[in-house]
Amino acid sequence: MASLENKVIIITGTSSGIGAQTALYLSQYKPRLVLVARRQELLEKVAAQCKDKGLPQDKILILPADLSKMEDLDKIVSETIKKFGQIDVLVNNAAAMAGMTGVGKYTPEAYQKIMDVNLKAPMFLSQAAVPHLKKTKGSIINISSTAATEATPFFTIYCASKAGLDQFTKCLALELAPFDVRVNSIRPGLILTDTMTSIPNMAEKVRMKEMGKSSQPLRGAGEGVDIAKIVKFLASDDAGFMTGESMYVDGGRHLIGASASVKMG
Q: Is 45 exposed, middle or buried (0-12, 13-18, 19+ CB in 10 A)?
A: middle
Distance between CA atoms of residues 152 and 174, nearest Å = 29
Report d(CA 33, CA 132) in Å as an integer. 16
Tell me the C-alpha distance between 99 and 153, whole Å: 13
Domains of the chain (ranges; CATH) run: 8-252 (3.40.50.720)
Catalytic-labelled residue, pool 25, 29, 158, 248: 158
**Is position 111 annotated as part of the catalytic site?**
no
The SS3 call for residue 261 is helix
CA of 245: how far to CAs of 115, 133, 182, in Å? 22, 18, 10
Answer yes or no: pTM beyond 0.85.
Answer: yes
For the chain, state the CA radius of gyration: 18
pLDDT tens for each residue of the chain, 265 residues long: 468 999 999 999 999 999 999 999 999 999 999 999 999 999 999 999 999 999 999 999 999 999 999 999 999 999 999 999 999 999 999 999 865 677 888 889 989 999 999 999 999 999 999 999 999 999 999 999 888 888 878 888 999 999 999 999 999 999 999 999 999 999 997 777 665 444 455 555 555 555 555 576 566 667 778 899 999 999 999 999 999 999 988 775 666 765 545 543 3
